[in-house]
Amino acid sequence: MTETRDVALPDTSELYYPDPALVEQSNVMAYARSKGFNSYDELYQWTISHREEFWADMASQLEWFKPWDKVLDDSNKPFYQWFVGGKTNIVYNAIDRHLKTWRKNKLALIWEGEDGSQRTYSYYQLNYEVSRIANVLKSMGVKKGDIVTIYMPRIPELMFSMLACAKIGAAHSVVYGGFSEAALADRLADAKSKVLITADGGYMRGKVVELKKIVNEALSRTPTVQTCLVFRHTNHGAPMEQGRDFWMHDLLGLPIANGHCPTEEMDAEDMLFILYTSGTTGKPKGVVHTHGGYMVGTYTTLKFVFDIKDEDRYWCAADPGWITGHSFIVYAPLINGATSFMYEGAPNYPYPDRWWSMVAKHGITILYTAPTAIRGLMRFGDLWPSRHDLSTLRLLGSVGEPINPEAWKWFYEKIGHGRCPIMDTWWQTETGHFMITPTPAVPLKPGSATRPFLGIEADVVHEDGSPCAPDEDGLLVIKNPWPGMMRTILNDPQRYVEGYWQKVPPYYAAGDSARKDKDGYIWVIGRLDDVIKVSGYRLGTAEVESALVSHPAVAEAAAIGLPHEVKGNAIHAFVILRAGYEPSHDLEEKLRAHVGHELGPIARPDSITFVTSLPKTRSGKIMRRVLRARALGLPEGDVSTLEE
């Protein structure tokens, strides 16, 4: 696990200091001062020594029908419980609370369709739409504790439907709208949903994706579903089945679907939703989250990391169908009373400047996206962003994979014009909210998610739990419970215990490998499954890929290890070239030499294949296990989340 390395480590001395005015005016420093601290570090130390007090402080900024009796109950580890005895509903804090203030007239959501159409909703209207859908669900017999599956394109009704479920105490299980019929059927069966909410179709790159057709096929294999509620979006004549399928616009026209619906009182520990992990490393896990702790954790992390202010126009460009969307498109922005932007379609449709034109058009101040999107847009060159006024931006963000320093710098220079710090947030479906992340008060290092968030103790350790030396590779663990942590895996509590808590007891094992540098900055190397061992040396796929991406010809790269008689493993890389470069044997040699030069000869790939796409999860992560299986001629395993 921890051999010393003779490959070059990234230069970890390079620091980017945030603008002092930004630090001074940040939410996190305002909180620090209110606690009598002058620095972020002092505040962090206090949150570690007073963890429960810190989270209770945050929880008390929100509204509860009944306050909690105990902040943390750890009597049945690892089944931790938070805000025990408290009664609330996340929707009460996301919507109802704002209706009592001027924010009822504030925009909650600005939505732009791929065709350029636009819709906006104030908090007041949001409540109206959500309440009507909630009333329809109730009339269809949906009750507290049921799990409703949602399979929708990226339209406002996706968000409304999630909130409608939570409002009446039903849990939602959102299945990303790009998934296949088999993936949908598996998840419907696992959740035993009786009700499915969907739409006739969605748009992607100008074409209609016929969701309802996919739904019909999935439903032919999932007998539990009795009712299918269908929003009309593409209006292309979706096939409906009498008795089972209902048009939402018909139901929403009935008197029962009025704009008043009480928000159900929930126990802090009642289930809010289940969500399946991305499936990057194997069969997706149905992660369970609850109302109370998740509400407090997502609220706090967004407020302090993205520094949400009333004047902001915040855009998280993920899909609501994965955890980033659940936490940081739907729940946390609303709890913070923010104005969010949502875009339906592809980033490069009709041209590669679509995103930049929308930043300018809507005056976006915060843009939170993923390395895959950054690399994808970087590939088209600098001219596209340079044509647009991006001066409203003040903060940028990244999530999903380690961000290659080259992509970080492009994002920082060409999009943020050197003014906007990048919040590289490390977290997981399982963690619910940010765990390792800068705030505007933390100096940045490109490619590092920096340091644990307030109240979080993250570390890099050996298999026996002892801490690694600075720059030594090890296992990434979280040492203490946090409010938004998953509570279990649906139908498989044993997998929860064994998969996360028995690997490096008593810590939470994230399943990622990482390094911590001498400044305490954490560098996530990649999934443990993806680490390549060459001649006894451990290499992270991320470092080989970043070395490739740092060459001007390379837009994107994936590295895998394949068995090798002498070295144990040999590195094979797959490379997508930037616009203007052509594959050649000569270029392959140059790239191999480049990696050797950057990281040391041991890391030089044995071969490089030029490709035009890489297998990725629907959330945009490279599925190296699929590349490996294909190269070895083996079955590809669970590919329910593969996008191609």
Binding residues vs ligand ATP (CB under 6 A): 277-282, 284, 323, 399-402, 424-426, 428-429, 449, 510-512, 524, 527, 619, 621
We find the least distance from the C-beta atom of residue 370 to ligand ATP, in angstroms, to be: 8
Which residues, in sequence order, are bridge partners of residue 539?
532
H-helix or E-strand spanning residue 10: none
Q: Which residues have a Cβ under 8 Å from the Cβ of 147 and sit 6 or more positions away?
A: 170, 171, 172, 173, 191, 192, 193, 274
Q: Helix axis angle, 51-59 relative to 291-305, nearest 10°?
A: 90
Which residues, in sequence order, are bridge partners of residue 396?
367, 422
Nearer to ligand ATP by Cβ, of 499 and 568: the residue is 499
Three-state DSSP class for 475?
A: strand
DSSP state of 518: T
CB atoms within 10 A of CB 507: 21
Q: Which residues have a Cβ under 8 Å from the Cβ of 41 and sit 6 or more positions away?
A: none
We find the least distance from the C-beta atom of residue 642 to ligand ATP, in angstroms, to be: 12
Q: What share of the chain is helix, strand, coil (3-state, %, to 5)?
A: 30, 25, 45
Residue type, 7: V
Q: Which residues have a Cβ under 8 Å from the Cβ of 205 and sit 6 or more positions away?
A: 114, 345, 346, 349
We find the least distance from the C-beta atom of residue 638 to ligand ATP, in angstroms, to be: 9
DSSP state of 423: E
CB 96 within 8 A of CB 127: yes
Nearer to ligand ATP by Cβ, of 261 and 486: the residue is 486
Nearer to ligand ATP by Cβ, of 140 and 528: the residue is 528
Radius of gyration of the CA atoms of the chain, in A: 24
Nearer to ligand ATP by Cβ, of 194 and 433: the residue is 433
We find the least distance from the C-beta atom of residue 138 to ligand ATP, in angstroms, to be: 32
Nearer to ligand ATP by Cβ, of 157 and 401: the residue is 401
Nearer to ligand ATP by Cβ, of 323 and 377: the residue is 323
Nearer to ligand ATP by Cβ, of 86 and 452: the residue is 452
Nearer to ligand ATP by Cβ, of 281 and 298: the residue is 281
We find the least distance from the C-beta atom of residue 5 to ligand ATP, in angstroms, to be: 19
Nearer to ligand ATP by Cβ, of 156 and 320: the residue is 320
We find the least distance from the C-beta atom of residue 289 to ligand ATP, in angstroms, to be: 12
Q: Provide the b/e sequence for 407-421 (b: ≥16 CB within 10 Å).
A: bbbbbbebbbeeebb
We find the least distance from the C-beta atom of residue 565 to ligand ATP, in angstroms, to be: 30
Nearer to ligand ATP by Cβ, of 10 and 400: the residue is 400
Take residue 495 and report the two structure tokens written for it.
């997998």
We find the least distance from the C-beta atom of residue 545 to ligand ATP, in angstroms, to be: 12
Q: How are beta strands 554-564 and 537-539 bridged, if at all?
A: unpaired
Counting Cβ atoms within 10 Å, is residue 102 exposed (0-12), middle (13-18) or buried (19+)? Answer: exposed
Nearest to 573 by CA among 616, 542, 529: 542
We find the least distance from the C-beta atom of residue 234 to ligand ATP, in angstroms, to be: 28
Q: How far apart are CA 514 and CA 525, in angstroms?
A: 5
Distance from the Cα of residue 354 to its chain's centroid: 22
We find the least distance from the C-beta atom of residue 576 to ligand ATP, in angstroms, to be: 20
Counting Cβ atoms within 10 Å, is residue 577 exposed (0-12), middle (13-18) or buried (19+)? Answer: buried
Nearer to ligand ATP by Cβ, of 195 and 522: the residue is 522
We find the least distance from the C-beta atom of residue 552 to ligand ATP, in angstroms, to be: 24
